[in-house]
């Protein structure tokens, strides 16, 4: 393209020089032809900007992490004259996740014609994304000039909401990945979660099973009997504090926190148990109800990790303000000794407490301080990449 301009400029300069000294009419016509080509190329570029319409959308608008969405782009030439040559660059997996790598497609659009582009984009992590066109470069019919269309022509992008998965392979409250009182549990261990009945205290009953509120009202010790099902009420607290991670490590960590929070909410709500999810980011968010999973997933998809206060302080003030819940579940990446001591204190009051500790290191499980009476579930983030086709891998 630059070479063509140099050749035309050289021909024009030589012709102008010869015309000035010889007055040859053929060279004059050559100069006029060169000028006409340049003007026509510029007019073609201007008309293309004016008469090209760009539309783009993501299908579906809401999807679950680990799936593909389709970017659909439509380019329509509504002008009667311009013959548009366009190079369209659009988002890929890497560009959506902080990288700069994009892909491109070249179109020649006749007057009145509409061309389309459909590309699949893999969404590995939960979040709110705006995939679409990153730039459009237009070329004139002679290939002399390149111009970038104003971003206003393709800035109308549609958001794609990527929900966290509500079934986490890392979360198994009765599986092999939890530790209680310093001893790693197995699949045969049963969790006491649901109250079957309340009766009077008997010798040998554990103090953690005492129903303190009812005991205070009746002036006699009352004990909760459990049947192994999910409790009549559950409170899930999600820590959205800044984590200090960057790039894809940050995406993987945030995805792991939200995925495990969604998973435990799904477990509770599947049993028709009333649930209250409380999270702390720039503001306090509370979602409750038996049928609140869609709202919970939407919130976890868009939640930003930006809490300004210590999670231990927030959790202490929340629970001590009178939260009614027999089953307390905390999802956090900040499992300090202070937090574990706080959770142990609630466990001793009779609450069933579960701490889901998300590691910031993708290569090892988190080191959680001792939490007496608390079930500790460990979760390790994963870097997720699009599935690789076997034929491409072999090539």
pLDDT above 90 covers what percent of the chain?
30
For the segment 294-316, the average pLDDT, to the nearest whole number, is 88
Q: CA–CA separation, 157 vs 149, rounded Å?
A: 16
Q: Write out pLDDT tens, residues 83-112.
A: 778 899 999 888 888 777 789 999 888 888
Average of per-residue pLDDT values in the chain: 80
Beta-strand pair 275-280/234-239: parallel
- The whole-number pLDDT of residue 323 equals 58
pLDDT for the residue 174: 42
Check: CB of residue 257 under 8 Å from CB of residue 215: no
Which pLDDT value is given to residue 302?
94
Architecture of domain 1-163: Sandwich (2.60)
Whole-number pLDDT of residue 388: 58
Q: Return d(Cα 138, Cα 51) in angstroms, integer.
A: 12
pLDDT at 390: 41
What secondary structure does DSSP assign to 35-48, as a single string? HHHHHHHHHHHHHH
Instruction: Determine which helix (DSSP H) or strand (DSSP E) holds 377, and give its type and residue range.
Output: strand 374-379
Distance, CA of 282 to CA of 240 (rounded, Å): 9
Return the axis-axis angle of helices 337-348 and 311-320, rounded to nearest 10°: 20
Give start and end residues of each alpha helix (H) in 292-358. 293-302, 311-320, 337-348
Residue with the bigger pLDDT between 52 and 210: it is 52
For residue 291, what pLDDT is reported?
Answer: 67
User: Where do the domains of the chain lie?
Assistant: 1-163, 178-194+229-379
- Across residues 39-44, what is the average pLDDT? 81
Query: What are the backbone angles phi and psi of residue 354, rounded to the nearest 5°?
Result: -125, 130
Q: Average pLDDT of 239-259?
A: 92
Instruction: Say which residues have a Cβ less than 8 Å from residue 130's Cβ, sequence separation at least 6.
Output: 157, 158, 159, 160
Strands 374-379, 352-358: pairing is: parallel
- 362-370 average pLDDT score: 88
Find the mean pLDDT for residues 280-309. Answer: 86
* 73 and 136 Cβ atoms separated by less than 8 Å: no
Q: Give me the pLDDT at residue 184, please.
A: 45
DSSP helix/strand/coil, 73: strand
In the three-class reduction of DSSP (H, G, I as helix; E, B as strand; rest coil), residue 234 is classed as strand
Fold assignment, 178-194+229-379: Rossmann fold (3.40.50)
Q: Among 395, 384, 343, which residue's Cα sits nearest to residue 67?
A: 384
Burial environment of residue 338 by CB neighbours within 10 A (0 to 12, 13 to 18, 19 or more):
middle
Q: Is residue 20 very low, low, confident or very high in pLDDT (cuts 50, 70, 90)?
A: confident
Q: d(Cα 210, Cα 216) in Å, to the nearest integer?
A: 11
């Amino acid at each position: 393209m630059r070479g063509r301009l140099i050749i035309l400029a050289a021909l024009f300069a030589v012709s102008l020089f010869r015309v000035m000294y010889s007055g040859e009419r053929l060279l004059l016509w050559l100069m006029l032809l060169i000028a006409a080509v340049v003007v026509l190329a510029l007019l073609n570029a201007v008309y293309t900007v004016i008469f090209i319409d760009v539309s783009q959308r993501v299908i579906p608008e809401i999807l679950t992490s680990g799936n593909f969405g389709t970017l659909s782009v439509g380019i329509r030439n509504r002008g009667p004259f311009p013959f548009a040559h366009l190079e369209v660059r659009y988002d890929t997996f890497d560009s959506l996740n902080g990288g700069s790598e994009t892909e491109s497609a070249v179109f020649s659009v006749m007057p009145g014609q509409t061309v389309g582009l459909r590309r699949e984009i893999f969404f590995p992590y939960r979040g709110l994304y705006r995939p679409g066109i990153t730039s459009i470069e237009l070329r004139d019919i002679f290939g002399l000039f390149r111009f970038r269309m104003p971003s206003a022509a393709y800035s109308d992008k549609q958001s794609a909401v990527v929900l966290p998965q509500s079934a986490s392979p890392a979360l198994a409250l009765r599986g092999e990945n939890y530790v209680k009182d310093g001893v790693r549990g197995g699949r045969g261990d049963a969790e006491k979660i649901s109250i079957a009945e309340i009766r009077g205290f008997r010798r040998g009953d554990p103090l953690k099973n005492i129903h303190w509120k009812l005991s205070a009202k009746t002036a006699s010790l009352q004990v909760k009997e459990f049947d192994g099902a999910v409790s009549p009420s559950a409170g899930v607290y999600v820590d959205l504090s800044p984590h200090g991670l960057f790039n894809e490590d940050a995406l993987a960590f945030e995805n792991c926190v939200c995925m495990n929070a969604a998973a435990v909410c799904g477990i509770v709500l599947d049993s028709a148990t009333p649930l209250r999810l409380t999270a702390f980011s720039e503001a306090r968010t509370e979602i409750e109800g038996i049928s609140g999973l869609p709202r919970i997933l939407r919130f976890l998809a868009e939640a930003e990790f930006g809490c300004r206060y210590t999670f231990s302080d927030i959790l202490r003030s929340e629970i001590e303000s009178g939260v009614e819940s027999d089953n307390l579940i905390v999802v956090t990446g900040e499992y300090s000794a202070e937090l574990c001591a706080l959770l142990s204190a609630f466990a001793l009051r009779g609450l069933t407490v579960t701490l889901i500790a998300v590691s910031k290191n993708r290569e090892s499980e988190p080191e959680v301080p001792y939490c007496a009476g608390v079930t500790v579930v460990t979760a390790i983030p994963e870097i997720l990449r699009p599935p690789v086709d076997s034929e491409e891998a072999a090539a």
